[in-house]
Structure 1
């Protein structure tokens, strides 16, 4: 296996949020496009559809697939997944790519100290990631919707930090976390971030973490 990086090689992270049970099929499709593998997370999708809420179905099980590949490969996989999974139809899923500065663990990749992530031209959407204690994701979603968001995806996780670790029977306990992923149009991002920050008091130590990332390509948004 070669450990030399190809000059000028760009990499993307491909995110895919699909209905429960679709993740494995999506990964197989991506592999046929040249992506070596990915990681699948379980999550919940939140909908602002009033009919779904009336029947108590606003929370839908989701699978979140994260894959990294060369920019050209990721774009091919994005187009193929859009077609095969019919992402142009409502409620089939969403997908987006994010430029990466460095990628390790993939063939022909070494760490480049001078690397910088590519600038996204003509930014139309951004991804907002909010990490909070378990049970608080709904508050994050409510704050986002109040600022114009259509909902988001909640991923279960675990966290460890000076403000979060407690002790039980002389053992450190790492509380469960929830990661809330929200896609917004670029011009509404600031309002959504401000609403979440005010509701969750994010700037106070131990209350959570929030960050935004420019998105280069999106599919499945309506």
Structure 2
């Protein structure tokens, strides 16, 4: 009720001011207009840009909530689960529309379906993937996750030229590249991950299979 009385008092004051020849009263919600020496003001200010990190010289930015490392590790596991189940559909939703081939220095790109078809052919060629547990394919404690500015230094992996700010390079040493005479994986797998909202997608893939 206190708010209603206050509003009534404001309305009465406005009516009295107009009746006495006073200037119209502008409410707080109405933007100022040009005229009578006033300066136009845009009532809608632009939102700060989103970023993963910010420097003082960049002005006002809104830092995005970091994606937990567990989300990256879960994506890595889905990749190996897809091979274990011999079903590429388990990992396909995590792939970008265009995949960078990290095996070549020129880093050519190719449509997602081409790498999915390659994986499907590999999965169908041998049943050994089913015979090997996911935990035996790779060891989670050996997985390396690198930010862009951490790469290119002595003793560290090289930085892919297609890697952007906020991307991650994931290096996965393969624990069991072979099972008997069957070649399952290369010695290591590299993933280039790019943020897509609150998740990562595979932007690049690199794996050299032994001949």
TM category (shorter chain) comes to: under 0.3
Normalising to structure 2: TM-score of the pair? Answer: 0.20
Tell me which structure has the larger Cα radius of gyration. 2
Normalising to structure 1: TM-score of the pair? Answer: 0.20
Q: Flag the structure with more relative contact order, 1 or 2, with Cα contacts below 8 A and sequence separation at least 6.
A: 1
More helix by share: 2
More strand by share: 1
